[in-house]
């Protein structure tokens, strides 16, 4: 599997002939410095953790350009249908769906979810984490935006992730200290990729503090933006 970080919480997974985007905030993302066309080339699925603009991002455009299938919680999927997305796979916390050669499970995240329309907030379902599994490939848990919670340990026990994408930016999610505690208590020995930092001035400016706090509790991989990282199972 190759995992590519496009800044913020936007990741591309390439495995077994399949290309998937998670939370594709590209246009308007100050941390995204790549080519939009190259980033979405060959993508068949867009997976969304929750309904905030910095995570939904370019979903509607990618769905139209690539005729991609969008996986989202039921409320967000309904809203996206009204935005013109044709291929939708609605689901919700605790569910698993089977796609061509991989599965997606929705797990808990502690965060909010909604968009502003005409001066009012539209509720778009609960925020979630996503578990992506494919035969022979590392299992990836994208936590989405979240605080620490003790059921992280149960999720790790049930889904047995190899790679966990962890938000560390603070203010809107865990900061480096809490994220490091989450790793120490619930994710020890796994491969950890930090996310949701260095995008805006309000967020943690880098991953260095998180890496130093985790120490030897886990293997932390800090990708360069736009550069694929190859990871194997186990």
Gap between the Cα atoms of 60 and 40, Å rounded:
12
**Cα three-residue angle 121-46-211, rounded to 5 degrees:** 85
- Identify whether the C-beta of residue 73 lies closer than 8 Å to the C-beta of residue 125: yes
Question: pLDDT per residue over 18-50, tens digit each?
Answer: 999 999 999 999 999 999 999 999 999 999 999
State how far the alpha carbon of 26 is from the alpha carbons of 6, 15, 37, in Å: 7, 21, 11
Beta strands, E only, 49-125: 69-73, 88-91, 96-99, 102-108, 114-117, 120-123
Question: pLDDT per residue over 38-88, tens digit each?
Answer: 999 999 999 999 999 999 999 999 999 999 999 999 999 999 999 999 999
For residue 197, give the nearest of 31, 2, 24, 19 by alpha carbon: 31
Question: pLDDT-derived band of residue 229, with 50, 70 and 90 as boundaries?
Answer: very high
Gap between the Cα atoms of 104 and 226, Å rounded:
24
Whole-model pTM above 0.95? yes
**Cα three-residue angle 158-164-167, rounded to 5 degrees:** 120
């Amino acid at each position: 599997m190759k995992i590519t970080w496009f800044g913020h919480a936007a990741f591309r997974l390439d495995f077994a002939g399949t290309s998937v985007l998670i939370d594709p905030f590209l246009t308007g993302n100050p941390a995204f410095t790549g080519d939009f066309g190259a980033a979405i080339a060959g993508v068949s699925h867009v997976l969304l953790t929750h309904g905030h603009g910095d995570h939904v991002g370019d979903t509607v455009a990618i769905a139209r350009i690539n005729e991609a299938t969008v996986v989202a919680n039921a409320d967000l999927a309904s809203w996206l249908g009204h935005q013109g997305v044709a291929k939708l796979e609605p689901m919700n916390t605790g569910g698993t769906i089977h796609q061509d050669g991989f599965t997606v499970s929705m797990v808990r995240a502690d965060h909010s979810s909604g968009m502003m329309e005409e001066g009012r907030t539209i509720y778009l379902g609960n925020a979630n984490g996503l578990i992506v599994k494919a035969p022979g490939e590392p299992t990836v848990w994208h936590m989405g935006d979240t605080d620490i919670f003790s059921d992280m340990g149960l999720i790790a026990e049930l889904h047995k992730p190899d790679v966990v994408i962890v938000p560390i930016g603070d203010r809107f999610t865990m900061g480096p200290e809490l994220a490091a505690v989450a790793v120490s208590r619930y994710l020890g020995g796994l491969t950890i990729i930090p996310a949701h930092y260095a995008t805006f001035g309000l967020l943690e400016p880098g991953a260095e503090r998180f890496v130093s706090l985790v120490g030897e509790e886990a293997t932390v991989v800090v990708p360069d933006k736009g550069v694929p990282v190859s990871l194997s199972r186990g």
